[in-house]
Structure 1
């Protein structure tokens, strides 16, 4: 009921879209954060490798949820899938550079650096995915 009411308000549908994006993103962040910690601490995988693996797994889950739940996209074209993959690859690059900078240069613990990297990538992802997936 509130959803329908907010949809009638200018910007209401975008509000719910952002809320869905935050819920999906939050869940994927938890998944990625747990995978990063587990692979690094228990699997003894270097943090940048763990970060890339965790990012990729989280990305796949995020893609499925964004297409079906956040942006309600239907029948993605090949061009949209390629754009999604390209922007995701760029997001991985942003993640890795941010992680490296805050661990190696700023001297932060890799788990703190991940929070910063995730915030930067989240902003990148929202605007690029919204542009690609929004019909």
Structure 2
């Protein structure tokens, strides 16, 4: 239980760093570039995703020895793509009730609604990301035995046997 609490705390720190980047870029694009919140949210999400991946996979989650790195990256980015869809849907819903010209005529209200929606989206996507990454990407601690019947283990073993990027023989 201590390990899980420590891991959640690390996930929270990484999440705060990614959120600051995401929220900052979102607000710059919406406030000053008068960009639509969903477009701006997509851009800010993708920028913060790169930071999140690097920090999450080096600080929060341990690489599974029974999973190929290529599959780890694929799972991370597929779960992130689903998170992006959730993010964009919540951002859109957060301002959908405003008039079509709200960016220009109600700019302050539009930014406020966007920020509230972003906070809601961040909570939902954070929970989604932690659950998926913990389930599929996190290696068991050294004192735990690998559950060979788990989906993550079976998927990982499959990935080691089916490498889409085989090593090329050296030409002499």
Q: Above 0.5 in TM-score?
A: yes
**1:28 matches 2:32:** no
In the TM superposition, structure 1's runs of 4+ consecutive aligned residues that sit over 4 Å from their partners are: none
Distance in 2, matches of 1:64 and 1:72, equals: 12
Task: List runs of 5+ in structure 2 lacking aligned partners.
Answer: 99-109, 140-172
TM-score (norm 1): 0.85
* Cα distance, 1:44 vs structure 2: 2.3
Return the match for 2:83 from 86, 91, 96.
Answer: 91
Higher relative contact order (CA closer than 8 Å, sequence separation 6+): 2
Structure whose alpha-carbon radius of gyration is higher? 2
1:131 to 2:123 alignment: no
Query: What SS class does the counterpart of residue 35 from structure 1 fall into?
Result: helix
Deviations for 1:25-55, whole angstroms, at most 9, x for unmatched residues? Answer: 0111111101100011112221111100000
- Give the helix-richer structure, 1 or 2: 1
Alignment partner of 1:71 out of 45, 61, 80: 61
TM-score, L = length of structure 2: 0.67
Instruction: Pick the aligned partner of 2:28 from 35, 38, 58.
Output: 38
Match in the other structure for 2:48: 58
Larger mean Cα displacement after TM superposition, 53-62 or 97-106: 97-106
Asked if 2 retains the 8 angstrom alpha-carbon contact of 1:52 and 1:92, the reply is yes
